[in-house]
């Protein structure tokens, strides 16, 4: 089986590498994270100009092709530089759900999104839900020709910057039923929408969103009423693959910086890279990085195949579980081998460690995906 990148994927990889080298030095990233928006509008416009915002979408929707393997290439390079622009919440999650459930009129927003003129946020999780997408207490009640939405959502990625919000709400059934969950696209400026944004530990932005009797027309409903759960699950799986690929890139950088540091740091008059015990530990870090890359590639290829949905979900959980274990070993070893400087704000190693640690919990942590893999 040929695991090499296609010509288009190599071009995509090269374009991201050049962008990172020119525009995403560590100090530049620190400035972006500290800004009011938490991302660079200039970079976002460049994402659109270079065509990266089309990567998650199929050709019939005006996209690059929508392959998971293409997303893997893109996200791994993003991981090397800890890119903070809201690619996953806008293009992968929000855009993916809109492409999957939206009708022709609703999908017109995808054109604006791919041109860089629209940002989305997806509100799926609630305080009591943990990683259970079916645990939805937010309600959507029929009111004439429209709906009235009420409820609270947590960890809404890019919530404070988004123009539109895709929110899951229960139109029927009990709180943990898979049936009865609907998805609505609402304007963040709508009356009754209250958003509290904050910076996460890894420098990204998220928000808590409260919906207080928000009135929306029937046209705000994506797909058929009460049937959105499968689409939500598939979108989260795709996002989980993306952050797993991003973690692979970040762990590669952690490994590289740890090896380079060991060649300059001296103890007892010699560099610590000469200590056999530390060589073994860095070799184990390399092995974990390679295992993580392999399992993410396997999951991406299965997502692009014609396998049943259960097999695709199983592959994603295998990847997220394996990557989570690698994150723990590679991240902690990198910090320990750097010593106290490894957790300072001035060194990128500490920021990389924070990012991969956050990724381990996003869209299901290691334990969750290990149990899910066993159940599937």
Which among 223, 225, 186 is positioned nearest to 99, based on CA atoms? Answer: 223
pLDDT at 226: 94
Overall average pLDDT of the 238-255 stretch: 97
Q: What is the pTM of this model?
A: 0.95
299 and 195 share one domain:
no
Task: Tell whether the model's pLDDT for residue 2 goes beyond 70.
Answer: no
257 and 351 share one domain:
yes
Work out the pLDDT band at 186, boundaries 50, 70, 90.
Answer: very high
Residue 73 domain boundaries: 7-118
Token pair of 292 as six digits = 């993580």
Which helix (H) or strand (E) segment holds residue 266: the answer is: strand 266-267
Q: Last residue of some domain: 68, 99, 118? A: 118
Beta-bridge mates of residue 168 = 183
167 and 50 share one domain:
no
Round to whole Å and give the CA distance between 3 and 11: 16
Token pair of 369 as six digits = 């995906």
Round to whole Å and give the CA distance between 150 and 301: 39
90 and 195 share one domain:
no
pLDDT at 4: 79
369 and 237 share one domain:
yes
Mean pLDDT (the chain, rounded): 94
Overall average pLDDT of the 224-232 stretch: 96
Beta-bridge mates of residue 186 = 165
Number of domains making up the chain: 3
Round to whole Å and give the CA distance between 339 and 12: 36
Per-residue pLDDT tens digits for 40-90: 999 999 999 999 999 999 999 999 998 999 999 999 999 999 999 999 999
Round to whole Å and give the CA distance between 289 and 227: 38
Beta-bridge mates of residue 196 = 208
Round to whole Å and give the CA distance between 354 and 343: 9
DSSP 78-143: HHHHT--SSHIIIIIIIHHHHHHH--HHHHHHHHHHHTT---EEEE---TTTTT-TT----EEEEE
Residue 304 lies in a domain: yes
Residue percentage of the chain with pLDDT more than 70? 99
Q: Give 218's DSSP letter.
A: G
241 and 352 share one domain:
yes
Residue 369 lies in a domain: yes
Backbone angles phi, psi at 264, to 5 degrees: -115, -25
pLDDT at 175: 86
Q: Last residue of some domain: 226, 258, 275? A: 226
Work out the pLDDT band at 5, boundaries 50, 70, 90.
Answer: confident
Which among 264, 239, 197 is positioned nearest to 273, based on CA atoms? Answer: 264
Residue percentage of the chain with pLDDT more than 90? 89
What's the CATH code of the domain at 188?
2.40.110.10
166 and 74 share one domain:
no
97 and 172 share one domain:
no
200 and 268 share one domain:
no
47 and 160 share one domain:
no
Question: Exposed, middle or buried by CB within 10 Å (0-12, 13-18, 19+), for 210?
Answer: middle
Per-residue pLDDT tens digits for 291-309: 999 999 999 999 999 999 9
Per-residue pLDDT tens digits for 8-48: 999 999 999 999 999 999 999 999 999 999 999 999 999 99
Q: Last residue of some domain: 103, 118, 133? A: 118
């Amino acid at each position: 089986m040929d695991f090499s990148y296609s010509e288009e994927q190599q071009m995509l990889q090269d374009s991201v590498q050049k962008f990172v080298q020119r525009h995403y030095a560590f100090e530049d990233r620190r400035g972006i994270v500290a800004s009011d928006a938490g991302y660079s509008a200039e970079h976002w416009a460049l994402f659109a100009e270079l065509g990266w915002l089309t990567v998650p979408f199929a050709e019939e929707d005006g996209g690059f092709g929508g392959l998971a393997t293409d997303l893997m290439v893109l996200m791994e390079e993003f991981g090397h530089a800890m890119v903070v622009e809201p690619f996953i919440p806008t293009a992968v999650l929000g855009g993916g759900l809109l492409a999957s459930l939206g009708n022709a009129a609703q999908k017109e927003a995808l054109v604006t999104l791919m041109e860089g003129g629209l940002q989305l946020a997806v509100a799926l999780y609630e305080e009591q839900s943990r990683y259970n997408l079916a645990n939805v207490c937010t309600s959507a009640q029929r009111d004439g020709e429209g709906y009235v939405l009420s409820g609270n959502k947590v960890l809404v990625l890019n919530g404070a910057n988004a123009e539109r919000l895709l929110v899951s709400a229960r139109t029927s059934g009990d709180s943990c039923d898979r049936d009865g969950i609907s998805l609505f696209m609402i304007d963040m400026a709508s009356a009754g929408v209250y958003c509290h944004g904050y910076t996460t530990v890894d420098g990204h932005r998220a928000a808590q969103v409260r919906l207080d009797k928000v009135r929306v027309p029937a046209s705000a409903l994506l797909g058929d009423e009460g049937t959105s759960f499968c689409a939500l699950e598939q979108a989260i799986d795709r996002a989980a693959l993306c952050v797993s690929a991003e973690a692979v890139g970040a762990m590669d950088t952690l490994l590289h910086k740890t090896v380079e540091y060991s060649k300059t740091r001296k103890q007892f008059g010699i560099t610590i890279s000469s200590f056999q015990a530390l060589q073994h530990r860095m070799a184990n870090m390399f092995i974990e990085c390679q295992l993580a890359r392999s399992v993410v590639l396997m999951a991406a290829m299965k997502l692009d195949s014609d396998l049943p949905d259960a097999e695709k979900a199983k592959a994603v959980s295998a990847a997220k579980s394996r990557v989570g274990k690698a994150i723990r070993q590679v991240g902690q070893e990198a910090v320990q081998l750097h010593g106290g400087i490894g957790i300072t704000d001035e060194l990128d190693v500490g920021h990389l460690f924070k990012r991969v640690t956050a990724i381990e919990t996003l869209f299901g942590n290691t334990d969750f995906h290990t149990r899910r893999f066993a159940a599937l």
